[in-house]
Structure 1
């Protein structure tokens, strides 16, 4: 087992309210942080600047890597309808506006690939390329804006059964502003319930394109977002795969029980995998 000084430092995905609770823990090691207030349409269409100002106050003294979870409710980034694509572009640009206000350098967006796609996307010749083209149409202005403000878009697996499809999609932009995210619970659900490879295979498939990891546990039946240790994710295998990377992805515990997030962190630490 590696010495504690050799293992990565865990971060967290928090809302404004739970950041206030865990502020000291975050600042203690300048842990990576993901703000989860700005994927809500109600927030983005409301007084989001006041929310951002309160978060900035809570982050006084913070020098770690900061990101946000971008909007995702109610849409996919590969819509065939150009009017829908325009709305999606607008929402994601709103997310980047929040990034710029906060000084965030990363925004999570959701993969377009579904379980249905795995079995059906290649039935019709050219369908995979057409999906990629639609994503490019949706994200063209978003990627340009991200590049201009020094922010990465990281594409998170949701239903993805093929660990490589999303990686190839990210690479197709040929931009340092588009990289890859892995959600451990989503990957484990796909493994157990849909026959996808184990979580560490997703890490290996992403390689050094991996810039972001949502750490959450599940039983593999559904998307639990449990604290690490409460499910059946094989954490040693996941962290061994992460240890093979040079990219140093942000490792963010993303769970429903944000109040007790440090219990999940303590489980990973007790395994000697991170601090």
Structure 2
């Protein structure tokens, strides 16, 4: 039901600037301090301590964005896959220690996948097997910790493909994330369906959404209202979700959070 309460994606050092808005309404926060090699190795303990301090007094839901650069979920090298798994497990430890109950990971599905799906026998099955090899230990650890891995669309063209991948784990600790800007880019660049179709296809699997606006050309991470996304359609679809997904503004310029929030509130879509 509209309006929906929304929060924001921030690094721990940025939370203080939006503390009143976030904390007084117990808004969702996605901590984005644990995405890099440095963050998960030499800086690990310092970043955990900083995140815990920044979140003191916050009673809303917390998630983190997991690492992704160079960490392909369906890496074809069998010697590299365990390294990727280990990196995800390290990030999951960070999430658990700061009290986060979600971790965002990136989808490995692309237009290349869609266009080549029927070119080679067993293409889809081989890709899924590699994904499961990387993620199964992470899923099991997430189950033990009570954390949900949410798989975000990046270059996905057919939302059903990622949904079926999530469903293949048959685990409550794997669900779907939607990035509104990525979905709109896929529509403009690859003929994907509109953003609200991504939401409706996700159904009960949708537990997280990044709110950002784009122009259909690049991954802008603009405030809502600055790009081309049909926000009323997106939020009408979100209002039918059986669950209450984490809904967070993911803007490149964090100073635009109040502006983006005000725009959506002016449309009667958010609280």
Shorter chain as denominator, the TM-score bin is over 0.9
Q: How do residues 40-79 of structure 1 correspond to structure 2 at under 5 angstroms?
A: 40-79=36-75
1:232 to 215, 223, 228: 228
1:155 to 128, 138, 151: 151
Report the Cα distance in structure 2 between the residues aligned to 1:205 and 1:156, rounded to whole angstroms: 14
* TM-aligned CA deviation for residue 259 of structure 1: 2.3
Matched, 1:212 2:208: yes
Moved more, 47-56 or 172-181: 47-56
Deviation readout 1:41-85 (Å, 9 max, x if unpaired):
111112222211122112111111100000001121001111121
Match of 1:249 in 2: 245
Q: With structure 2 as the length reference, what TM-score do the two structures score? A: 0.98
Instruction: Say which SS state the counterpart of residue 13 (structure 1) adopts.
Output: strand
Q: With structure 1 as the length reference, what TM-score do the two structures score? A: 0.96
Deviation readout 1:148-189 (Å, 9 max, x if unpaired):
000000000000000110000001000000000000000000
Report the Cα distance in structure 2 between the residues aligned to 1:32 and 1:16, rounded to whole angstroms: 14
Instruction: Say which SS state the counterpart of residue 107 (structure 1) adopts.
Output: strand
Q: How do residues 108-147 of structure 1 correspond to structure 2 at under 5 angstroms?
A: 108-147=104-143
Instruction: Say which SS state the counterpart of residue 167 (structure 1) adopts.
Output: helix
* TM-aligned CA deviation for residue 132 of structure 1: 0.8
Matched, 1:29 2:19: no
Are the counterparts in 1 of residues 13 and 54 from structure 2 also a CA contact under 8 Å? no
Moved more, 30-39 or 18-27: 18-27
Instruction: Say which SS state the counterpart of residue 80 (structure 2) adopts.
Output: helix
List, as ranges, runs of 4+ consecutive aligned residues in structure 1 with deviation greater than 2 Å.
none
Report the Cα distance in structure 2 between the residues aligned to 1:213 and 1:60, rounded to whole angstroms: 24
Structure 2 residue ranges without an equivalent (≥5): none
Matched, 1:12 2:19: no
Are the counterparts in 2 of residues 10 and 251 from structure 1 also a CA contact under 8 Å? yes
Are the counterparts in 1 of residues 66 and 88 from structure 2 also a CA contact under 8 Å? yes
Report the Cα distance in structure 1 between the residues aligned to 2:50 and 2:153, rounded to whole angstroms: 30
Matched, 1:183 2:179: yes
Structure 1 residue ranges without an equivalent (≥5): none
Matched, 1:80 2:76: yes
